[in-house]
Amino acid sequence: MPELPDIAVYLDCLAPRILGQPLERLAVRNPFVLRSVSPSPTEIAGSRVEGLRRMGKRIVLALERERFVVIHLMIAGRLRWLAGGKALGKIALASLDFPTGTLVLTEAGTTRRASIHLVDGEAGLQPFERGGLEPLDADRDAFAARLASENHTLKRALTDPRLFSGIGNAYSDEILHRARLSPLALTRKLAPEAIDRLYDATRATLVDWTGRLRAAVGDGFPEKVTAFREGMAVHGRYGQPCPVCGTKVQRIRYAANETNYCARCQTNGRLLADRAMSRLLHDDWPRSIDDLE
């Protein structure tokens, strides 16, 4: 799922292309994608784009007369920019036509989760506001207070949109590796020094990756938005060497998600129990990275 750095770069690239431009037409190719129609696509046709913003992991186009297009990419949704009347392609769900080109919402696979909502007035945006703290705007004390507001594992806390805005599975792995903290450490048991490390790592990771993605895109438009990027320390790198200590990256799998971590850098060498494998192996489950090596 595109997270804060990816959404920030999308907004950077959309601004010179659509700000101040009229939305000539919103065409829906798969009806499921349009989840609310007040106002309708016909009513917003011709409205000028007055602003762009991020709400968590959503992209919001602010139109004239306080009307908004809210785009949620979910896991497999992506945005494409087409100029010069290029074909939309088979996986296009919807297209937004501007004088400068066409913004296309696509979604790979068969699970249809990406969405567009059309809403009227700022009040209409409230259901999309999850309440998460903006990690790049908060000071250390606000960050610490939000962290301790509920007793969760660090992995869950960072990815909870009610607690922190814009952080998902990929960048939470990178943040925790940079902070040298276990994904299963509990928020209310963190020492002040560990909170300092987590706060600094959160900001540094998000700023660093936003900068990297901006540099990679340049004046173009994001073409390869993925959760698995070259240069990541642990996310998506199970079995590969940690860039800090060289130990093989480990993982915890649950449902459709996976958490990656370095046992030496983050858990003092202790292997965290993978629910499925630890149940299968019982006493044969290795307790430390040394047992594997």
What does the domain layout of the chain look like in residue ranges? 4-128, 140-292
Q: Would you state the pLDDT for residue 254?
A: 79
Global confidence as pTM: 0.92
Question: In the prediction, which pLDDT does 37 show?
Answer: 86
Beta bridge partners of 260: 251
Tokens, residue 291: 């047992």
How far apart CA 5 and CA 273 sit, in angstroms, is: 30
Furthest C-alpha separation in the chain: 66
Q: What per-residue confidence (pLDDT) applies to 87?
A: 67
Q: Are the beta carbons of 144 and 199 closer than 8 angstroms?
A: yes
Q: Which residues contact 141 (CB under 8 A, 6 or more apart)?
A: none
Say what the pLDDT of residue 46 is.
Answer: 97
Residues 6+ apart with CB under 8 A from 2: 10, 57, 73, 77, 78, 225
**Structure token digits, residue 266:** 């983050």
In this predicted structure, what is the pLDDT of residue 63? 98
Select from 135, 196, 104 the least CA-distant residue to 3. 135
3-state DSSP assignment of residue 114: coil
Note the pLDDT of residue 111: 76
The pLDDT of residue 278 is 46
Cβ 249 vs Cβ 242: under 8 Å: yes
**pLDDT averaged per 10 residues, the chain (length 293):** 96 98 95 92 97 97 98 95 78 94 90 92 94 97 97 96 97 98 97 98 98 96 92 97 97 86 97 62 46 47
CATH number corresponding to 4-128: 3.20.190.10
Q: Which CATH number fits domain 140-292: 3.40.605.10, 1.10.10.10, 1.10.8.50, 3.40.50.740?
A: 1.10.8.50
| pLDDT at residue 222, rounded to an integer | 96
42 to 59, 118, 166, 293: CA distances (angstroms): 21, 11, 31, 63
3-state secondary structure of 238: coil
C-alpha 219/C-alpha 182 separation (Å) is 38
> DSSP character for 257?
E
